[in-house]
Amino acid sequence: MLPDADVIGLKLGLAYEDVLGHRGLTHSLVFALVLGFLTARFLFPRESSAIAWWRTGVFLSAITATHGLADAMTDGGLGIAFFSPFHAERYFLLWRPIIVSPISLRAFLSQWGIDVARTEILTLWCPLVALAGIRLLLSRSSQVRDDSGDVDRPTT
């Protein structure tokens, strides 16, 4: 949700379409990379494994980037500045099934907000939970078997 902190700029007089406006720089791939690796640096001090730091940085960057990707699937707004600050053009995906979320808290707590939540649950959360469940089932069923067919059990 951190990328949506950019709505504060609207209250401060920034125009929606500005680089620092809503769905601008904070929704970009650059922001996702910087935030992901800064967070990894915070989580893994210098004495930690470099591999763990890189993996965590890439993982957190990817998670942050999905926010802009999801917003690019909405039916409103001006699009997402994926390539900001280098390129100001904003983009949407071709498939836009998600109702754009209201910015104000009052509107978010209205029927409009309920419709947004329903759409996001059906379009994003249910498929993600299903994929996570499938992944969990596959990882459990793919335990290494030895030549006799018995499941190798980890030693403790």
Full DSSP string of 113-147 = HHHHHHHHIIIIIHHHHHHHHHHHHHHHHT--B-T
Does 19 lie in the same domain as 80? yes
Question: Does 53 lie in the same domain as 126?
Answer: no
45 and 71 belong to one structural domain: yes
Q: Is residue 122 part of a domain?
A: yes
- For the chain, the domain total comes to 2
Is 63 part of a structural domain of the chain?
A: yes
pLDDT tens digit sequence for 102-139: 888 888 899 999 999 999 999 999 999 999 999 999 88
* Residue whose structure tokens are 């959360």: 125
The model's pTM is: 0.79
56-74 per-position pLDDT tens digit: 999 999 999 999 999 999 9
- 103 with 87, same domain: the answer is no
- Its domain, for residue 64, covers 1-96
Both 117 and 74 in one domain: the answer is no
Tell me whether residue 153 is in a domain. Answer: no
Distance CA 82, CA 19 (A): 11
For residues 66 and 102, state if they share a domain.
no
Q: Is 108 within the bounds of a domain? A: yes
pLDDT over 70 percentage in the chain: 90
Give the mean pLDDT of the chain.
87
Q: Is residue 150 part of a domain?
A: no
Q: Identify whether residues 21 and 72 lie together within a single domain.
A: yes
